[in-house]
Amino acid sequence: MRTTVNQIRQMKEDSEKIVMLTAYDYSTARIIDKMGIPLILVGDSLGMVVLGYETTIPVTMDDMLHHTRAVVKGTEQAMVIGDMPFMTYHVSVEDAMRNAARFIQEAGAQAVKLEGGVTVAEKVRRVVESGIPVMGHIGLTPQSVNVLGGHRVQGRTSEAAVSLLEDARALEDAGVFAVVLESVPAPLASLITERIGVPTIGIGAGPRCDGQVQIINDLLGSFTDFVPRHAKQYAKLAEIMSAAIGEYYSEVRDGTFPTKKQSFSMDEGLLAELRAK
């Protein structure tokens, strides 16, 4: 039985911290799911950590559906949330509903995530009314990085802070089951968490959100282009991988791999016949 939106809402009511991670492939999703993580986000961050883009903007629906399908296949318990990419919900309500439905019908996700607050609230409402759970996302919204002037902390001025609180309330009124707060000052994130009735999931938003999300590649230390300030590396996987690959390279070059253990035998009589031909 997969995690439901009602269970996530109840976790806020019970003051139980909510844990969310990203995943982009089957094998990683299986590991995360078996660890009991209730929410897995197939983030458009795959554009940077998987596909090598400088931002999330080039990521397409086909990219997202492809990776979401793989994650869904690797999970049994977690709610899988598909991240709606740039310009798949911005133009019209019809676009938003059609593309959200593709995540559910074609990829098997249980929910979708949209960036934006007041400006997307009506689209969120219509998607929720159609039967698709929606997670909101405000603060630093990576799809708007060109407007924001880079990956900057949001909500540091009085006007910006009030705007974020209004965004959070608009999303709650529109029916989201949770809101991601990205790169928001911790005191403001705490205030938003107190003021809205749906769970907040922080990333670079301090410890008082109802839950936390991290990009799996940051957590494992497998993405080395840069390490965001909000991330903590619980492992140095890039170093482990480099050592293993280096050892493999050396053993192939010096002829010590493969050994008999990694090889297959055949009938000696048949081999003799082949040699005699």
Please spell the DSSP secondary structure of 180-214, one letter per residue: EEES--HHHHHHHHHH-SS-EEEESS-TTSSEEEE
230 and 266 fall within a common domain? no
d(CA 152, CA 155): 10
pLDDT of residue 205: 98
Model confidence at 149: pLDDT above 80: no
pLDDT of residue 21: 98
pLDDT of residue 123: 98
pLDDT (mean) for 102-130: 98
CA-wise closest residue to 178 among 7, 2, 3, 9 = 9
117 and 248 fall within a common domain? no
Note the Cα 260 to chain centre separation in Å: 42
Contacts (Cβ under 8 Å, ≥6 apart) of 31? none
For residue 60 the two structure tokens come to 């397409």
59 and 187 fall within a common domain? yes
For residue 67 the two structure tokens come to 């990776």
Q: What range does the domain containing 214 cover?
A: 5-235
Q: Over the stretch 54-73, which tens digit does the pLDDT of each residue have?
A: 999 999 999 999 999 999 99
d(CA 22, CA 39): 9
pLDDT of residue 208: 98
For residue 161 the two structure tokens come to 């802070």
> Mean of the per-residue pLDDT values for the chain?
96
Positive/negative CA dihedral, 89, 204, 111, 119: negative
pLDDT of residue 105: 98
Whole-number percent of the chain with pLDDT over 70: 99
Q: What is the DSSP code (8-state) at residue 84? A: P
112 and 224 fall within a common domain? yes
d(CA 48, CA 205): 21
46 and 130 fall within a common domain? yes
3-state secondary structure of 29: helix
Overall pTM surpassing 0.75 (yes/no): yes
For residue 114 the two structure tokens come to 């949209």
Model confidence at 150: pLDDT above 80: no
Q: Over the stretch 13-47, which tens digit does the pLDDT of each residue have?
A: 999 999 999 999 999 999 999 999 999 999 999 99
225 and 135 fall within a common domain? yes
Q: Over the stretch 204-263, which tens digit does the pLDDT of each residue have?
A: 999 999 999 999 999 999 998 888 888 999 999 999 999 999 999 999 999 999 999 999
b/e 222-248 (16+ beta carbons within 10 angstroms → b):
bbeeeeeebbebeeebeeeeeeeeeee
d(CA 276, CA 270): 10
227 and 250 fall within a common domain? no
d(CA 98, CA 95): 5
Total structural domains within the chain? 2
46 and 129 fall within a common domain? yes
Sorting pLDDT into bands at 50, 70 and 90, what band is 92?
Answer: very high
pLDDT of residue 216: 98
- The residues that are catalytic are 182
57 and 148 fall within a common domain? yes
